[in-house]
């Protein structure tokens, strides 16, 4: 089977989005892999902290810093266009995420 964008694992096809170095970035266990570590090492000095669930945990367990990612995704999914993946290219999907982020932040700035 030929590898397409949809058949790759997220952690193997992920490129870091931010140019910041020295900051601590959090990811879930799905991103723990050598390809992402290699990509981060090539860009600069990044600290990637993988937040994993304990094997002994049963039921719901609030993981440290995981709520930040989940909250952000929930905020972005309020935009109907992002609720489902309608985009044909990754570039257009990223553009819509930026548009949703600008919308969210501009409303917050307007409130203050």
In the chain, the number of structural domains is 2
**Are 51 and 73 contained in the same domain?**
no
Instruction: Taking the CA atoms of 88, 90, 91 and 95 in sequence, report the sign of the dihedral they define.
Output: positive
What are the Cα distances from residue 102, in Å, to 46, 50, 74, 84, 105?
A: 25, 28, 15, 19, 5
pLDDT tens for the chain, residues 1 to 112: 344 444 444 445 555 555 555 577 777 777 788 887 788 778 777 777 887 777 777 777 777 777 777 888 888 888 888 777 778 888 888 898 899 999 999 998 998 7
Does any domain span residue 75?
yes
pTM: 0.50
Tell me how far apart the alpha carbons of residues 73 and 104 are, in angstroms, rounded to a whole number: 12
Domain boundaries, position 99? 65-111
């Amino acid at each position: 089977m030929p590898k397409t964008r949809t058949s790759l694992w997220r952690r193997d096809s992920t490129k870091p989005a931010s140019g910041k170095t020295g900051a601590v970035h959090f990811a879930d266990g799905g991103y723990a892999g050598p390809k992402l570590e290699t990509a981060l090492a090539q860009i600069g000095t990044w600290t990637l902290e993988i937040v994993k669930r304990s094997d002994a945990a049963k039921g719901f367990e609030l993981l440290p810093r995981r709520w930040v990612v989940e909250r952000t995704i929930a905020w972005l999914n309020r935009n109907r266009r992002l609720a489902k993946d309608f985009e044909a290219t990754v570039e257009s999907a990223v553009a819509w995420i930026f548009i949703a982020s600008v919308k969210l932040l501009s409303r917050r700035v307007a409130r203050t």
